[in-house]
Amino acid sequence: MSVGQVLRALVRDRLALAGIIIVGGFVLLAIFAPLIAPYDPDAIHRVDGRVARLLPPSSQFLLGTTNLGRDVFSQVVMGSRIALQVGLLAAFMVTFVGTNVGLIAGYFGGRIDAFLMRIVDILYGIPFTPFVILLVSLLEPSVWNIIIAVSLLTWRTVARICRAQVLSLAQRPFVKAARVAGASHLRIMYRHILPNILPIALLEMSFVVAWAVIAEASVSFIGFGDPRAVSWGKILHSAFIAGAVRTAPWWVAPPGIAIVLLVLGVHFITRGLESIVNPRLRGE
């Protein structure tokens, strides 16, 4: 099944369509964020000369302000950029590395396979959050380092799944035929096998998007996110640290809801993809 067919099938799925609309909405929000956000998310606002601390939502500050007089609405809008950046970039890197490793391991087998699978085993054993903290301390905290950490630890799953797929594909007649016809390894791998594992890679990719968004939020929430970036997790972190969870619901609810919505949208798409890749799951 080609990627185009997959997409067309996806739009026909109700939940998946809802997912596409939600995620598309967030993408638009992220693209036009600077136009939508009324203020600089880092600007400290003052009312009558005093810092506008913890103001409830009003027409001036749609979602109220933080303890340092920053506009929550602007922060949440700008936060969509970080979430999507992390989700999409991590997913792309993971899929790229994972698919290639899976392809190479499954196709060549033998020692190469054993070696690559050992690496995958080791990666499975590394606990995520402590590893991110370690990496962030090593390289300075930044959005990029979180993406790197997510990517380093997540390609293992994709690699494993792709490898299994390649192993079964390698026995198929069309691959054997190509080999007999004298096609090079590269050509067989990328022209003949890759298109067949792409749908499943796409599925894994959308798993990773969701996972990466949550991972960034979690890491930021416990205080190891990018200090300069306004991410949803970090907004929640600031509220939690300030001790304003109960006094300022306008500061705590919006970023949380944004995370849930975006990730839910991605999950809807993932589920749709899953039932296309594996038609028996459609349950018709």
According to DSSP, residue 141 is labeled: S
* Spatial CA neighbour of 163 closest among 94, 115, 106, 111: 106
Residue 125 interacts with other proteins (CB under 8 A): yes or no: yes
**Could you tell me if 164 and 83 are in contact, meaning their C-beta atoms sit under 8 angstroms apart?**
no
**Pick 120 or 197: Cβ nearer other proteins:** 120
Residue 127 interacts with other proteins (CB under 8 A): yes or no: yes
R_g (Cα) of the chain, nearest Å: 22
- Of the residues 118, 172, 176, 191, which one makes contact with other proteins according to CB under 8 A: 118
Question: Residue 145 carries which side chain, given as an amino acid letter?
Answer: N
- Of the residues 5, 121, 168, 190, which one makes contact with other proteins according to CB under 8 A: 121
Cα separation, 46 vs 68, in Å, equals 9
- Of the residues 32, 124, 174, 190, which one makes contact with other proteins according to CB under 8 A: 124
Region 222-261 residues binding other proteins, contact defined as CB under 8 A: 222-225, 227-228, 233-234, 236-238, 240-248, 252, 256, 259-261
Region 24-43 residues binding other proteins, contact defined as CB under 8 A: 42
Q: Which two three-digit tokens encode residue 145?
A: 């380092």
Least Cβ distance, residue 220 to other proteins (angstroms): 8
Stretch that binds other proteins, among 28-36, 99-107, 195-203, 271-279 (CB under 8 A): 271-279
**Pick 5 or 129: Cβ nearer other proteins:** 129
**Pick 68 or 194: Cβ nearer other proteins:** 68
**Could you tell me if 228 and 78 are in contact, meaning their C-beta atoms sit under 8 angstroms apart?**
no
Question: Residue 88 carries which side chain, given as an amino acid letter?
Answer: L
Region 140-199 residues binding other proteins, contact defined as CB under 8 A: 140-141
- Of the residues 4, 35, 110, 130, which one makes contact with other proteins according to CB under 8 A: 130
Region 42-61 residues binding other proteins, contact defined as CB under 8 A: 42, 44, 46, 48-51, 53-54
**Could you tell me if 153 and 98 are in contact, meaning their C-beta atoms sit under 8 angstroms apart?**
no
Q: Which two three-digit tokens encode residue 28?
A: 């638009």
Place of tokens 């990018």: 226
Using CB atoms within 10 Å of the CB of residue 219, give its burial: 0 to 12 exposed, 13 to 18 middle, 19+ buried: buried
- Of the residues 60, 183, 267, 277, which one makes contact with other proteins according to CB under 8 A: 267
Which residues contact residue 39 at a Cβ distance below 8 angstroms, ignoring those fewer than 6 apart?
A: 45, 71, 74
Least Cβ distance, residue 92 to other proteins (angstroms): 21
Cα separation, 229 vs 247, in Å, equals 24
How many residues of this chain interact with other proteins, rule: CB under 8 A?
74
Residue 111 interacts with other proteins (CB under 8 A): yes or no: no
